[in-house]
Structure 1
Amino acid sequence: MNYTLHQLMVFLKITQTKSITKAAGELHLTQPAVSIQLKNFQDQFDIPLTEVIGRKLYVTEFGHEVARSAEKILNEVHAITYKTLAHKGQLTGKLKISIVSTAKYVMPYFLTDFMHEHPGIDLLMDVTNKAKVIESLENNEVDFSLVSVLPEKLQIENVELMQNRLYLVGNGERKFEKTVYDNHIFEELPLIYRENGSGTRYTMEKFIAQNNIPVRKKMELTSNEAVKQAVIAGLGYSIMPLIGIKNELNLSSLQIIPVKGFPIKSVWNLIWLKNKNFSPVAMAYLTSIKQEKSNIIREKFSWFDSF
């Protein structure tokens, strides 16, 4: 056998994503390149590693065994790299973070300088909905999570990063003449919701219930980007975080509809399990965030107050 570390990495990613297309995307390779690597790797085994049934890829039992071994090998290789960098005096290791989908507009700015300062650190960041973010935190699979709604049943500690504001938005076609509308405007505007488990949906529904707002639910979509595109296309209106619609507002493809009681305000919180034993990397990041968050907000989010 003469398989390479690259083939092990490609095969492991395929087993994790259950898809050659998704594996190619996450590895920043073309789909044909991943398929070739899988074929070359498979050719070294007499037992199938994967099988395709009805155009869907499945990993065989033997494939899962090989994947577990591949993961161990790659972890050892990473460990050698970390030790080499550590001997050079560099901070090394993995920083693992899970964030809610809307936080993808926030979190990178609170990581960039730290990652540039410590090139020996590998970042693993999972972008998903609130329910899965809290699950990964509860299972101690990550160092930190970024949420706008604090979990009620977990003992956590937190650092407040910046304010989150949600507005009622629509596309640019209809003209809204009033300076401020009352809640009756919702009777004529069909609303597009995020899916259950979304922090944005939780905040939106809590506000609607507290203010006894009559709403017309039009549809439910599973990502902030999907909601945004549906609103731009004229399929309805939605309550959306300002952080994710800056460019669309500047281009006038979206508009904020002025309604009494808006914006809905919450806070982006970096959270972690109480009494968590931090790795040196996680501790360094937390120290950096506490020291630099005000500078980051001032430099990267000064536009926030112009809406």
Structure 2
Amino acid sequence: MRRNVETPVGRRAFLGALCLSALGIAGCGRGGSPAGGDASGGGQPATSAPAEEEPKTSSDPHVQYIKNYKGKNAASVGYTALNTFRMDTLGGAYIRLVYVDPTGVFVDPENEDQLKEYVVFDQNLPQNTQVDIVFETDEEGREYEHVVDWQTHEQVVLAVKKVGEPDPQPVNMTPIDPAPDEYTAFVRDYVGRNLAECGYESLAGKLTDAYGPGYVTLVPASDDGSYIDASVKESLAQYVVVSQDVAPNTQFTMEPTTATNGEVYDLISSQSLETVSLSVRRLEQ
């Protein structure tokens, strides 16, 4: 059986909630005059606020849609899983939430008190982005509930700011292309992320990020030449990514291990891309 997408090595809304104007309700002009002019009957027609996009829902477990996270407190969305990642349910599947503070500070998904200090102001996948999901099946072709074979999107990057503060300058929210199949993936955008939110420590002691059934080793290089210990979260949290040697949305493929009888195993035998080098800058204390 393949691994659940919730584990570190598992499978796998730009439009936010728009606030209604406090100055009036669509259909009414200023001072109670009819829409289309001011109280004197002249002037320009009143401009209605754009309609809020309705969230899409699906009764098909194989098709789900990205939620709108904008305006929500960071502690109120998703949950912290056993793998220390912030996860959210997506029908019968799961999706990882990656917090990015524009200052580069590590927003710890395990620290609920810290999360309560932040609010989401942007996300890299717009609300209602479609996510296709394929579930594992048994020998008779029956699907396992909540056991995902692969899905077209595995992460949503959420830009956060301190509660009560104005929106920072726009941050890079690169929408990552959907995976067309289980063995094809697209490189994520790590620039602007705190290094501790880029991946997890592999059994080999290296910083790693999961891509469907495979993974990519992340190789950080600090601007001051310091050694970065992937096994120590506090060490990773001291750095923010400033560049990467493989561009976001670069496509790469994976080849599964196949037995002589044609049976395909979960293990990946080779990948067209195995490492991504990250240039990182130490944060000021």
Shorter-chain TM range is under 0.3
- TM normalised by structure 1 equals 0.21
**Quick check: which one's helix share is greater?**
1
**Quick check: which one's strand share is greater?**
2
- TM normalised by structure 2 equals 0.22
